Each structure stands twice: as structure tokens, then as C-alpha cells.
Amino acid sequence: MTHAPVRTAVDILATAREQVLEQGAGLTREQTLEVLRLGDDRLEELLALAHEVRMKWCGPEVEVEGIISLKTGGCPEDCHFCSQSGLFQSPVRAAWLDIPSLVEAAKQTAKTGATEFCIVAAVRGPDERLMAQVAAGVEAIRNEVDIQVACSLGMLNQDQVDRLAAMGVHRYNHNLETAKSHFPNVVTTHTWEERWDTLRMVRDAGMEVCCGGILGMGETLEQRAEFATQLAELEPDEVPLNFLNPRPGTPFGDLEVLPASEALKAVAAFRLALPRTILRFAGGREITLGDLGAEQGILGGINAVIVGNYLTTLGRPAESDIDLLANLKMPIKALNETL
């Protein structure tokens, strides 16, 4: 019986350098798994390679995005990580934001240099009331603020996709959350395939696709690699990477926070699987990586950040990330490049 030769860390990194950095071809599922399994002693080298890949295939600009919750809490779905589900004993109560506050938030976001402003609602999918609110909000923002509007309103039907596209919504966020094989352990009230269907309709309607997920929800390294390559197959314009911040009262409230080295390895591996995408640091960064995490990530493959709140938990203040980008001499992506 013959065995495939064991590939060393040097081989694994050399392959990634040749294939991803030189040729721009993302890692396969097996190759992503090899990278995720690298020892911590290779982390620095791995992050440096991911950074080179990002600089070569995306450039030095960093996209800054603001996010606002139009409807918070009381969601009928049971995503086990989410404190906005109405099915768990979590402290987030249902609340709606009014249109003037939405426009004000968009103005404040634009002042930071952000080019994207994402309107989020904690729902399975939008009902007529929410669609009307979104239409009014998008129109008011487009009239008063120089910023692209994105939405994240759950699963859509074709009519809703068409209406959002007609409103001028530039990008739609809908996360696949985790690998297809792990999804039933995370959500039972809808399927991964239902999410995929929404993403396909969004793409076909001409909106940009923003799709990522959460790491550290009990998935194996194999499933993390599976997820990275399932995202690559979707070819999203942007991938927000969250790390689980276990919220009290949710079914995942007692899970351990991902170790920092594992989280950073995942950032680099996702960059190597998705060399051209906008890879965004989203929620859970502070608890997983601490204060130094932003810098390590932005020098390890990340090229987009969120300013302001992460919906239900506070992120760092906008200024600290903006200052960091200035210190690292990384320009904020300008609006005219995205129009």
C-alpha cells in the first residue's frame, strides 16, 4: 500500500505562494485545510503571505463600512449564535429605528470616510412594513448622503430582490454562516440552500453579493475549509468574517472563544482561498483577538473594516480603526472608485 507523501509546512506555503500569489488562483478545499492545520510557529509567515496576496490582487485600499440596525431583536429564527432571536432568553428586545435617525447615522458614517452603509433587520425575511421602511430609508439617504447603501434583510423572494435593486441598493448581505455540513447544527428553522437561493437571485439582479459567516461555532477544521471553498464557489464581492462572541442566553452561550492564533490562521486561509474578495473583519474581533487583532488582521489579508456598532455588541470606536489605517499608510477606498 502506498501513502501520499506528507507535505511539510515549507511545501504547503510554497504551493500557496506559487498558486495564489503568483497566479491568483485560490486554494482548493484540501489546500485550505493544510493551511488551517499549520503550526503556530508558521503563523507569522502565513499572515505575511496572506498580506502579499491581498496587496497584489486587491491593492492597498481598505473599504470602510458602517452598519445600522433598522429593526432589532424579536426574530422568529433560531440561529444558535444570535442574541436577536426571539426564541432564546437573551436580553435584546425588539425595537425599530425611525427614518431621521437612520439618515443621521448614514451622515455620521460618511464622515468617517466610509463608502458603504448597511441597513440591517433581524428578520427571517422582510414583510411589507419592512420593505416600505427600507424604501423610505434608502430614498432619504440617497437624497442627503454621499454613500452606497447596502441591505441585510434576511431571505428574499424574487419580487423583493427586484424591488431592492430598483431602489438602488448597491450590495446585499446574506451570510451562509458556516459550512453546509455544519449548518443544521447552527440553524433549524431554515436551510443553507434557502440562503443560497437568495444569494443567487441577488447576484442575478445585479446587486453586489456580501456573504460570510461566523467561525468558532463548533465546526471542525475540515468544515472551516469546506466553508471557505463554498464561499469561493459563490464568488462574493465581499466576505465578512465574524468570530463567535458567545452571548448569554443563546444555545452557543457556553462555547469557548476561538484562540487568537486559530482565528488569525483562519483569516489568512480565507484570504488564500479568496484572493480577490473584499475580506472584512466583522463581529467578535475584539473578544477573540484583543486590541492588537486589527493590526494583525489588516497585515494578514483583511481589507475592509466596520465602523461603529456591531448590531448588538459594541465594537471599537470608529476613530481607532481609522487611525490605525493612517498609521499603516493604507488608504481608505474612495467612493468614486466604487460607483
Phi, psi of 210 (to 5 degrees): -115, 120
Give 63's contacts (C-beta < 8 A, 6+ positions apart): 115, 116, 238, 278, 280, 303, 304, 305, 332, 333, 338
Question: Is the Cβ of residue 137 or residue 213 nearer to ligand SF4 in the bound state?
Answer: 213
Please report where in the chains the cell 468617517 appears, as a residue. 112
Torsion sign, CA atoms 289, 241, 319, 336 = positive
Least distance (Å) between residue 228 CB and ligand SF4: 20
Pairing of strands 95-96, 63-72: antiparallel
Least distance (Å) between residue 75 CB and ligand SF4: 3
Least distance (Å) between residue 125 CB and ligand SF4: 9
Phi, psi of 243 (to 5 degrees): -115, 140
**Are residues 137 and 99 in contact, defined by beta-carbon separation less than 8 angstroms?**
yes
Please tell me whether residue 161 adopts helix, strand or coil conformation.
helix
Least distance (Å) between residue 124 CB and ligand SF4: 6
Question: Is the Cβ of residue 198 or residue 223 nearer to ligand SF4 in the bound state?
Answer: 198
Residues 81-110 that bind ligand SF4 (CB under 6 A): 82, 84-85
User: Residue 72 corresponds to which cell in the numbers above?
Assistant: 432589532
| Binding-site member from 53, 75, 145, 302 for ligand SF4 (CB under 6 A) | 75
How far, in whole angstroms, is CA 109 from its chain's centroid?
18
Q: How far apart (Å, rounded) are the C-alpha atoms in residues 98 and 250? A: 28
Confirm or deny that 151 is annotated as ligand binding: no
Q: Which stretch binds ligand SF4 (CB under 6 A): 16-24, 76-84, 105-113, 247-255?
A: 76-84
Least distance (Å) between residue 138 CB and ligand SF4: 20
Residues 136-175 that bind ligand SF4 (CB under 6 A): 154
Question: Is the Cβ of residue 69 or residue 115 nearer to ligand SF4 in the bound state?
Answer: 69
Q: Which of 191, 189, 139, 184 is nearest to 163 (CA)?
A: 139
Confirm or deny that 58 is annotated as ligand binding: no
Q: Is 79 in the site for ligand SF4 (CB under 6 A)?
A: yes
**Are residues 114 and 64 in contact, defined by beta-carbon separation less than 8 angstroms?**
yes
Confirm or deny that 211 is annotated as ligand binding: no
Question: Is the Cβ of residue 113 or residue 253 nearer to ligand SF4 in the bound state?
Answer: 253
Q: Which of 229, 271, 262 is nearest to 29 (CA)?
A: 229
Confirm or deny that 280 is annotated as ligand binding: yes
Residues 257-276 that bind ligand SF4 (CB under 6 A): none
Least distance (Å) between residue 77 CB and ligand SF4: 4
Question: Is the Cβ of residue 54 or residue 80 nearer to ligand SF4 in the bound state?
Answer: 80
Q: How far apart (Å, rounded) are the C-alpha atoms in residues 130 and 320? A: 33
Question: Is the Cβ of residue 86 or residue 113 nearer to ligand SF4 in the bound state?
Answer: 86
Least distance (Å) between residue 204 CB and ligand SF4: 22
Please tell me whether residue 78 adopts helix, strand or coil conformation.
coil
Residues 116-135 that bind ligand SF4 (CB under 6 A): 122, 124
Q: How far apart (Å, rounded) are the C-alpha atoms in residues 208 and 184? A: 27
Which residues contact ligand SF4 (rule: CB under 6 A)?
75, 77, 79, 82, 84-85, 122, 124, 154
Annotated binding site for [4Fe-4S] cluster: 75, 79, 82
Annotated binding site for [2Fe-2S] cluster: 118, 210, 280
Annotated binding site: 75, 79, 82, 118, 210, 280
